Amino acid sequence: MLINCVAYHDGQKLADIPVEDISDYILRPDCFVWVALREAEPAELSVMQEEFGLHELAVEDARRGHQRPKIEEYGDSLFVVVKTVELKDDELLVGEVDIFVGNNYVLSARNNCSQGFLGVRARAEHEPHLLRQGPAFVLYALMDAVVDRYFPVVDALEGELEQIEERIFIHGSQRDNIERLYALKRKVMTLRHAVAPLLDAVGKLHGGRVPALCLDTQEYFRDVHDHLHRINGTIDAIRDTISTAIQVNLSMVAIDESEVNKRLAAWAAIFAICTAFAGVWGMNFKFMPELEWHYGYPMAVAVMVSVCCYLFYRFKRSGWL
């Protein structure tokens, strides 16, 4: 579905143009066309391929979707795939934005992502001195928008980890913790799949050999790279912490169980001794003098109670009860 198709000249919006005129506008000097698509049909992509002269393999990738984030050079133009990650009801939704960039055009096609990039366009149109830098700046603005949207997701995941950590040493919450840690791990992996390959790819847009298109905007892409680096560092820290937390959780289960076992052992011993005494005095021997005593029974109960109390005291002292 076409969202906008606008021609710009020297950083200023010229006009909304019909799709058929694209191929004319991109021939004018100092002019570039910025087209935005959403959930593009194969047919729309074919039209765009013709108008912009896109490479078959790139269009094929956009058509099939489910690419990994990457930046590929086709001659002078770039084909960029970035993943959007949104948080919705405790679930991560992953979308995809395919961006084709040439010397005088930008074509972005987003799929499965609820938020659009109209804000990006609006901001860019208000800063003609920046937009004048052309398609590379638009590419930067789009990538920056996508990457900025990772931050709240990372924050949410960090917050979730902290919530779990607060409960990690609480008795009886281990089952819950381990389920939440596992779910968190999966979310982190999802985010990592969006970030890690992009980090590698953006690294090639500044520093060493840079595509001609991005030569003048290297500092901007270094900024994006730096943001991705920060997110990636946080992701790695979360993964590391999750893995330690799972280990620690297992230890806590073992410690709790060991404490329950000790307590069980202690009580069992106390009752077993009572039962043994009662059993002895319940034997049917004819000549058991204490059975005949007048105060035999109270005495027996006293013996049992005092033995129990003594054991209770011993176990208490050694920390078993």
Question: Measured between alpha carbons, how far is 281 from 33 in angstroms, rounded to an integer?
Answer: 102
- The residue from 83, 145, 252, 315 that contacts its own copies (CB under 8 A) is 252
Tell me the window of 29-37, 98-106, 113-121, 229-237 that interacts with its own copies (CB under 8 A): 229-237
For residues 14 and 307, which CB has a smaller minimum distance to its own copies in the complex? 307
| Beta carbon nearer to its own copies, 16 or 219 | 219
Q: Decide if 96 contacts 66 (C-beta within 8 A).
A: yes
Kindly state the smallest distance separating residue 2's Cβ from its own copies, in Å: 27
Secondary structure (DSSP) of 204-269: GGSSSS--GGGGGGHHHHHHHHHHHHHHHHHHHHHHHHHHHHHHHHHHHHHHHHHHHHHHHHHHHH
Strand bridging mode 105-111 / 77-88 = unpaired
- Residues 256-315, interacting with its own copies (CB under 8 A): 256-258, 260-265, 267-269, 271-276, 278-288, 290-297, 300-301, 304
Out of 170, 215, 240, 313, the only residue in the binding site for its own copies (CB under 8 A) is: 240
Does residue 168 interact with its own copies by CB under 8 A? Answer: yes
Length of the chain: 321
Q: What are the residues whose beta carbons fall under 8 Å from the beta carbon of 33, sequence distance 6 or more?
A: 5, 6, 7, 8, 17, 22, 25, 26, 104, 105, 106
Which residues 186-225 are close enough to bind its own copies by CB under 8 A? 186, 189, 193, 197, 219-220, 222-223
Q: Which is nearer to its own copies, 3 or 253 (CB)?
A: 253
Q: Give, as ranges, the residues between 138 and 157 that touch its own copies (CB under 8 A).
A: none
Q: Which of 212, 215, 255, 302 contacts its own copies by CB under 8 A?
A: 255
